[in-house]
Amino acid sequence: GPKVLQIPSHQIIDMGQMVTLNCDPVSNHLYFYWYKQILGQQMEFLVNFYNGKVMEKSKLFKDQFSVERPDGSYFTLKIQPTALEDSAVYFCASSLVDSGNTLYFGEGSRLIVV
């Protein structure tokens, strides 16, 4: 089936540093999403993105977070600066239309902030 690729698969970073998580969504998809999953807990919506803009973001999407997709390249989640509570697995997803359509998820980027 359609594949969403995420880079890196895991990263360890010092608190206060910047991290960028990269997502290569399904090629003809138009909507992009980031979800956060702390170990053993549920998937929590962070943000969605369409037509070059953030459509909606949750309370978890702090001011230190930003997303972009410059010129149709990777869809990125940047955290600057990182905090200990940012340690989690971040999942990227994409869908052809809005979320009434199926979301396809990547395998996640495990972020450990020390």
Partner 1 sequence: GDSVTQTEGPVTLSEGTSLTVNCSYETKQYPTLFWYVQYPGEGPQLLFKVPKANEKGSNRGFEATYNKEATSFHLQKASVQESDSAVYYCALSVYNQGKLIFGQGTKLSIKP
103 binds partner 1 (CB under 8 A): yes
Q: Choose among 92, 94, 91, 62: nearest CA to 79.
A: 62
Pairing, β 75-79 against β 19-24? antiparallel
Q: Is 66 helix (H, G, I), strand (E, B) or coil?
A: strand
User: Can you tell me which of 80, 107, 112, 114 binds partner 1, judged by CB under 8 A?
Assistant: 107
The residue among 65 and 105 lying less far from partner 1, judged by its C-beta, is 105
Q: Which residues does 42 contact at the CB level (< 8 Å), separation at least 6?
A: none
CB of 12 to partner 1, least distance (A): 17
- At 87, which amino acid appears? S
The residue among 49 and 82 lying less far from partner 1, judged by its C-beta, is 49
User: Can you tell me which of 73, 83, 102, 114 binds partner 1, judged by CB under 8 A?
Assistant: 102
- Encoded tokens for 97: 């239309």
By CB under 8 A, name the binding residues for partner 1: 1, 4, 31, 33, 41-45, 48, 50, 55-56, 91, 93, 98-100, 102-108
